[in-house]
């Protein structure tokens, strides 16, 4: 993928945040419309696997791309919400797989929450 290029939602950490914010029906419609194409052996190409991943994202309020869009690249994304608790953006950090650390999720979530607070988000989330 090129800088500024597009990637399927289900292959990226920020894209998965937005899918997790959608209804189950909207996710199924997305899967039907796109066919859930894969880019790597790690890509989520089956609806059941994607739904399981989205449930995990909803529970933990963080999304991961584990070499799903590009071999050798991992990403972590946290949601940025507005004053009505709607997802408006995602904050993502990408790193080569050999330098990626899943423990970065906590400070990335804190940074995303700081941005959300600056945008007027004050709701308490229990995640």
Q: In the chain, what are the domain boundaries?
A: 9-118
Q: Please state, in angstroms and rounded to a whole number, the distance separating the CA atoms of residues 61 and 59.
A: 6
Instruction: Please give the average per-residue pLDDT across 80-95, as a whole number.
Output: 94
Which residues, listed in sequence order, are joined to residue 68 by a DSSP beta bridge? none
Instruction: List CB contacts of 34: < 8 A, sequence separation 6 or more.
Output: 8, 10
Band of residue 101 on the pLDDT scale cut at 50, 70, 90 = very high
Q: Is 49 helix (H, G, I), strand (E, B) or coil?
A: helix
- pLDDT tens digits for 2-24? 667 788 999 999 999 999 999 99
CATH of the structural domain 9-118, one choice from 3.30.1480.10, 2.40.50.140, 3.30.450.40, 2.40.50.420: 3.30.450.40
Task: State pLDDT tens for residues 58-75.
Answer: 999 999 999 999 999 999
Q: How far apart are CA 82 and CA 116, in angstroms?
A: 6
Give the closest residue to 57 by CA, choosing from 15, 26, 25: 15
């Amino acid at each position: 993928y090129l800088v500024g290029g597009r990637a399927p939602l289900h292959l990226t950490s920020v894209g998965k945040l937005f899918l997790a914010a959608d209804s189950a029906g909207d996710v199924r419609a997305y899967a039907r419309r796109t066919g859930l194409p894969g880019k790597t052996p790690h890509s989520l190409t089956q609806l059941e696997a994607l739904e399981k991943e989205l449930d995990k994202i909803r529970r933990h309020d963080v999304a991961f791309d584990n070499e799903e869009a590009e071999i050798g690249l991992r990403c972590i994304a946290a949601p940025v919400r507005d004053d009505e608790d709607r997802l408006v953006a995602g904050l993502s950090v990408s790193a080569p797989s050999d330098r990626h650390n899943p423990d970065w999720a906590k400070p990335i979530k804190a940074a995303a929450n700081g941005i959300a607070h600056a945008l007027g988000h004050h709701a308490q989330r229990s995640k």
